Amino acid sequence: MARVDLYDTTLRDGSQGEGVNFSVQDKLAILRRLDDLGIDFIEGGYPLSNPKDAEFFQALQSVSLKNARVAAFGMTRKKGISAAEDTGLKALLAANTGLITIVGKTWDLHVHEVIGTTLEENLAMIADSVAYCKGQGREIFYDAEHFFDGWKANADYALETLKSAAAAGATTVILCDTNGGSLPLEVAAGVKAALAACPGVTLGIHCHNDCELAVANSIAAVEAGARQVQGTINGIGERCGNVDLISVAGVLGLKMGLEVLLADSLPRLTEVSRFVYETANLNFRPGQPFVGLSAFAHKGGMHTHAVSKLARSYEHIDPATVGNERRILVSELSGQSTIITKTARLSMAQDRELMRRILERVQDLEHAGYEFEAAEASFELLVRRTAGTYRPLFDLVSYRVNVEHGPTSSGVSEATVKVVSGAETLHTVAEGDGPVNALDAALRKALVPVYPRLAEMALVDYKVRVVNGRDGTAARVRVILESKDGTDIWSTVGVSENIIEASWLALVDSIDYKVIKDGEVSAKA
């Protein structure tokens, strides 16, 4: 089975994406996750570009990796000076990595118009830089920037730049679709031309996603003979991003039978994907192939009925092979088979009359503005309420929220909550950054002494959508809360003309679900 190496540039190219900003500690944390996953090469950054990258390479000296090799990234020497005098190359060597990736110009347009030199001098810049760093005992990868644009404009010269790097000692030459505008057939032809021009050199591929073809282009390159794929986790990066190494690993390993990562690493793809999203403070892409929340989600009644009988009837792989899971979504489009599937673990699926009543309740509530496909915790509570097995944690007496604004106030919110739990009336007050945060704090202040594990819970997302916009400011709104603890993430929904009331309904469901799933109800009821 042929192996394809994966070269991750999340820490460098990925950090150039809009809204992405990694601290040194973020970069070190991602580095360790990628190493554990079995990524072959990790590009740490450009040591000369900023103090943060310089600090990262310094911190790297005390990090022990099990699988990956770290590369320092930089450019060829500047025109008109020797490689030994070039400050960029000095910084690459000072990073003290055994592997250096040097990027150079391949497109004659860039040679003439961007760096303003001759074609001959550019070839010398490539050869001198590679040979100098090679002579300092480093292995050199060469990134041929804009290779495909250069090859289409002046094929002979583009190939000469590759030969220059290979002859100077580069062990791997990477063909870059830097503008992201190439098509798969063009990429395959370019790879074959490069292989013919540089026999004995490993070829890599580095694609950007400006035409939504980065994965297709990378796969086409591998089929044509490339044996290294460069990209980022989740495809983050400049403009439309880089190729997503998550998808690349899934396709190469599961669809093409090629060896990637470690032998048992593919089931960790979802975990690593979400870790990078969290570290980068980016929202998950629900529809992301292989690892997205919706990648194995089924909503239509015909689909859910078929999946309940034979999963592969509507799934191209078992979601567990990439660490994901199947989700059956509940909505007004659902049939009884969906409800049966969703309630199987609650041992209610044999009660057909109950299934009918649950489906009718879902359809009525969705007509009123609820949406359960994104609020599965609220759906489980709905099932329990309809079945008569739900026992509320408390009875609400009242709640009140006060938001102060003015020249001497900072917009602090204060919530007062009064509830009855068992034989005890609980009356609490708490402040928060907003009305929902204050309500959450006040309610948990009342309930944590009774249900201690509520202290583990945190609200991680809050979404509001107007249900019937034609009513203007009196419109009904839908609030979806996402909560998590140390092991699970769950979502709940509330609907009302009053945004605070809608938030309260979703918040109570979230707390109810946390207590039920932890099994504390039976112990405390």
- Tens of pLDDT, residues 234-293: 999 999 999 999 999 999 999 999 999 998 999 999 999 999 998 888 888 989 999 998
Q: Is the pLDDT of residue 177 over 90?
A: yes
**Residue 240 maps to a domain:** yes
pLDDT band at 193 (very low <50, low <70, confident <90, very high): very high
In-domain check, residue 465 = no
Residue 511 lies in a domain: no
Q: Which residues pair with 139 in a beta bridge?
A: 99
Task: Please check whether residue 293 lies inside any domain of the structure.
Answer: no
Percent of the chain exceeding pLDDT 90 equals 62
Average pLDDT, the chain: 89
Q: What angle do CA 137, 160, 213 make, to 5 degrees?
A: 90
Residue 459 lies in a domain: no
Name the one residue in this structure whose structure tokens are 């699988």: 67
Q: Is residue 146 in some structural domain?
A: yes
Displacement of CA 21 from its chain's centroid (Å): 14
Instruction: State how beta strands 99-105 and 139-145 pair.
Output: parallel
pLDDT (average), residues 402-413:
75
Quote the domain boundaries for residue 258.
5-262
pLDDT, tens only, 476-521: 889 999 988 888 889 899 999 889 999 999 999 999 999 988 885 4
Report helix, strand or coil for 154. Answer: coil
- Are the beta carbons of 312 and 321 closer than 8 angstroms? no
Please compute the mean of the pLDDT values over residues 375-400 and round it to a whole number.
87
Smallest CA-to-CA distance from 203 within 220, 185, 181, 179 is with 220
**Mean pLDDT value of segment 364-382:** 82
Q: 173: part of which helix (H) or strand (E)?
A: strand 172-177
Has residue 525 got a pLDDT over 50? no
| Domain count along the chain | 1
The H or E element that residue 143 is part of is strand 139-145
Residue 409 pLDDT class (50, 70, 90 cuts): low
Kindly give, in sequence order, each residue whose CB lies less than 8 Å from that of residue 198, ignoring residues fewer than 6 positions away: 162, 163, 166, 173
Confidence label for 376 from pLDDT (cuts 50, 70 and 90): confident
Average pLDDT for 123-148:
98
Whole-angstrom Cα distance, residue 397 to residue 399?
A: 7
Does residue 94 carry a pLDDT above 80? Answer: yes
- pLDDT average, residue stretch 400-423: 83
Question: Can you tell me the mean pLDDT for 111-133?
Answer: 97
Highest mean pLDDT out of 112-126, 288-302, 474-488: 112-126
Q: Is 80 exceeded by the pLDDT of residue 301?
A: no
Strand, helix or coil for residue 192: helix
Q: What percentage of residues in the chain have a pLDDT greater than 70?
A: 90
In this predicted structure, which of 154-163, 348-357, 379-388 has the lowest mean pLDDT? 348-357
CA distance 92 to 88: 6
pLDDT the model gives residue 403: 85
Q: Is the pLDDT of residue 358 over 90?
A: no
Cα 74 from Cα 103, distance rounded (Å): 6
Q: Report if residue 17 sits inside a domain.
A: yes
Number of other residues whose CB lies within 10 A of the CB of residue 58: 14
pTM, 2 dp: 0.73
pLDDT tens digit sequence for 13-55: 999 999 899 999 999 999 999 999 999 999 999 987 778 888 9
Round to the nearest angstrom and report the end-to-end CA distance of the chain: 58
- Top pLDDT among 61 and 305 is at 61
- Alpha-carbon distance of 242 to 178, in angstroms, equals 9
Q: What is the CATH number for 191? A: 3.20.20.70
> Span 119-134, mean pLDDT?
97
